[in-house]
Amino acid sequence: MQDMSFDAFFSRGIERTKPKYWSLLGNFCLFGLAIVVAAITVIGILIIPALIAGLIHFLLASARGQEPKFGSSFSAGFAEGMWWKSLFLVIVLIVGLMIGFMLLIIPGIYLSVVWFYAFYLLVDKKMDIFETLQTSRKLIHQQGFWKIFGVLLVINIVNSVLSAIPLVSLAALFLVPFIMMIYVTMYQNAIDEDSDDEVPDLEAELIP
């Protein structure tokens, strides 16, 4: 694991975003629209975790120099049992965080940070549900809990401030590609893939 500084996560994430900015923004909008449509019905809500998994698949593939398509990443959210795995993970996360925030808030904040990589590990490493939580916690502490907490806090503050100002709230949407790639940069650094070396093709995993 490369010891990246606090500001390096931002600078490297921004650099990775620039050449693929419009592709990232366009696909985020497509996934966002799919999530909004799914949220209309109770049954549709159940596939939202799979859509999030598909978006993470797209982001990881993009960060690794591949040219993923919306269709293949969309299907990745439902392939190999990912639908029910992502749904179960979301349920575990929600219940765990609710209990954590009920216990004087601080445990909830702690869990929201140390479980941050759980979804990435589920999609990328095909780990089982509780293994993703344990591994995410281990990786966060290896990187430095307070450093990761600081990155997430800064991003949330900036996003909240922009979203609260009516005339510039739209700017928050255009920042999303940068934010998503900063998160991916953090994750890839945690799993020792924060380099330009060749990495496995996520798209190829979907081909029988």
Number of domains in the chain: 1
Q: What is the dihedral of CA 2, 27, 57, 10, to 10 degrees?
A: 10
Provide the residue range defining the domain that includes 136: 6-194
Q: What is the per-residue pLDDT for 193?
A: 66
Is 31 contained in some domain?
yes
Q: What is the per-residue pLDDT for 169?
A: 74
- % of the chain with per-residue pLDDT over 90: 70
- Strand, coil or helix: what is 12? helix
Q: Structure pTM? A: 0.87
Q: Which residues, 6 or more positions from 90, have their beta carbon under 8 angstroms from its beta carbon?
A: 48, 49, 52
Is 200 contained in some domain?
no
Q: What is the per-residue pLDDT for 194?
A: 54
Is 162 contained in some domain?
yes
Q: What is the per-residue pLDDT for 19?
A: 93
Q: Average pLDDT over the chain, rounded to whole?
A: 88
Is 112 contained in some domain?
yes
- pLDDT means per 10 residues, the chain with 208 residues, are 86 94 93 92 90 95 88 89 94 95 90 97 94 96 95 92 77 90 96 55 44
